[in-house]
Amino acid sequence: MNLSPEKITLRQPDDWHVHLRDGNILNTVVVPTARIFRRAVVMPNLQPPITTIQTAIAYKERILNVIPKELDFTPLMTLYLTETLSREVIRKGFAEGVFVAAKLYPANSTTNSKDGVTDIRNIYSLIETIEEVGLPLLIHGEVTNQDVDIFDREAAFIEQILDPLLHRFPALRVVLEHITTEDSVEYVGNSKFNIAATITPHHLHINRNAMFEGGIRSDFYCLPVAKREYHRLALRRAATSGKPCFFLGTDSAPHLRAFKETSCGCAGIFNALNAIESYAQVFEEEDALDRLEAFSSEFGPIFYGLPFNEKKITLIRKPHRVPSSLHLGKTSEHIVPFHAGEILNWLCER
C-alpha cells in the first residue's frame, strides 16, 4: 500500500457480500461493482432463491455475460439454505467449486428470505455437512420474533442462536454479515471460534436518525436497520482496528426508487457506485488510512483461504458530488445511490 496526502494505492479489493440481482437491473448494478472489485460474494436471495448447483451456475453465467470485456471480475456464488435442501447439494457444490459459501437466512429476516430457515434445529444436519467440508457459513444474524424490538434483534440472535450454534459445531467457519451493533463487535472480536464479520459502508456512516431526518427517508432503510450512534462508533473502531476478523462487505442492495418510496418500501441501500470511496472517507476520518488495505483487500481472502489480488487500484483526493440517481438505460426507472448529492473526498480511478 502506498499512501500520500493526495493519493492512495492499494491492492485491488473484493466485496465479500453483495446483491447483484437479476433480469433487467443486473446489468446496471453489477458494472460499478466489477469496476472496482476483483471478486464478489454474490448473495443468493433471488426469487426463487439459488438452492441448486444448476441455478448457481446459470446465474453466474448471466452475471459474467454482462461484464464488460476489459474487466476481470469473478462472482463467487453462494447457496441459499432451506429446510428441504439435501446434504448432497452441499457436498457436491463444494467439491465442484460451485459454491464459495452457504448462506443462512432466518425466514422473513430480510428481502426474499421467506424460504429461509424457521428453526435452526431443522438444518442441523446441513450444518454438520457444512462444518465437515469446511464451507464458510454466512449468516444474516437477526431473530425474527416480532415480539423482539427491531433494534434488539441482532443482539438477541447472538445470544439465542449464534453462540449455542458455535458451541454445538465448534469447527464451523462463520461470517456474521453486515454487523450493526457493539454487541456483535465484541462477540466477534473476542470469540474463540472461527468467526469473522463484514461491515458495510452505510452502517459506518449513518445511525438510525438518518431514516427520520425531517421526514421518513426510505433511502436509509435497510436490514439490519441502522442502530444508535454508539453502535456506529463501535463499528468504526472495529473496521479500523486492524483486526483480521473484520473485513469489507458492502451489502449493496439496490431497489428501484419506486419500490423504496411507497407505503411498504423495500429494505436495502445501493452503495456499489462509491463503496470504496465511502470506506476511504471513514478510514480517513478515523485517521486510519494505513489500515484500509488490510480491511478491504487482505482480511477477506485470508478468511476465505483465497489468494490476494495482484492488481492495484488508485484513489486520488478529488472531492466530487455523488449523482442523485442512476437510471436504467434511458428509462425513467432509477436507483438512488448511497451518498446521493453528497461530496466524497476520494475518487477511485476507473
Q: Which residues are catalytic?
A: 251
Residue 345 — φ and ψ, nearest 5°? -80, -35
Cell 461470517, located at residue: 175
Residue 225: name the closest of 271, 268, 189 by CA: 268
The reply to whether 219 sits near ligand OTD by the rule CB under 6 A is: no
Q: Which residues pair with 110 in a beta bridge?
A: none
Task: Give the one residue of 133, 267, 316, 340 binding ligand OTD; rule: CB under 6 A.
Answer: 267
Q: Are strands 194-199 and 173-176 parallel, antiparallel or unpaired?
A: parallel
Q: Look at residue 111 and give the partner it binds from ligand OTD, Zn ion, none, a contact being a CB closer than 5 to 8 Å depending on partner kind.
A: ligand OTD
Distance CA 51, CA 102 (A): 10
- How many other β-carbons are positioned within 10 Å of the β-carbon of residue 260? 21
Binding segment for Zn ion among 8-16, 31-39, 140-148, 182-190 (CB under 5 A)?
140-148
Q: How far apart are CA 329 and CA 212, in angstroms?
A: 31
Give the integer Cα–Cα distance in Å for 59 and 80: 13
Task: Annotate 281-304 with DSSP letters as a single string.
Answer: HHHHHTT-GGGHHIIIIIHHHHHH
List 39, 103, 140, 173, residue binding Zn ion (CB under 5 A): 140
Cα 350 from chain centre: 22
Closest approach, Cβ 272 to ligand OTD, in A, equals 13
State in angstroms the smallest separation of the CB of 284 from ligand OTD.
Answer: 26
CB 222 to ligand OTD: min, Å: 4
CB closer to Zn ion out of 39 and 140: 140
Close Cβ partners of 3 (under 8 Å, ≥ 6 residues apart): 289, 290
Distance CA 175, CA 196 (A): 5
Give yes or no for a contact between 45 and 82, defined as CB atoms under 8 angstroms apart: no
Q: Which is nearer to ligand OTD, 102 or 223 (CB)?
A: 223
Binding part of the chain for Zn ion, among 74-82, 94-102, 245-253, 332-340 by CB under 5 A, reads 245-253
Which residues on adjacent β-strands are paired with residue 39?
74
At its nearest, how many Å lie between ligand OTD and the CB of residue 339? 17
Taking the alpha carbons of 266, 341, 350, 37 in that order, is the dihedral positive or negative?
negative
- Binding segment for Zn ion (CB under 5 A), chosen from 188-196, 207-215, 248-256, 328-336, is 248-256
Nearer to ligand OTD, 110 or 184 (CB): 110
Residue 15 beta carbon to Zn ion: minimum distance, rounded to whole angstroms = 11
Give least dist CB 270 to Zn ion, A. 12
CB nearer ligand OTD, residue 13 or residue 254: 254
Residue 253 touches ligand OTD, criterion: CB under 6 A: yes
Examine residue 38 and tell whether it contacts ligand OTD (CB under 6 A): no
Based on the shown chain and the rule CB under 6 A, indicate whether residue 81 belongs to the binding site for ligand OTD.
no
Is 110 a residue that touches ligand OTD (CB under 6 A)? Answer: yes
Q: How many residues bind ligand OTD (CB under 6 A)?
A: 12
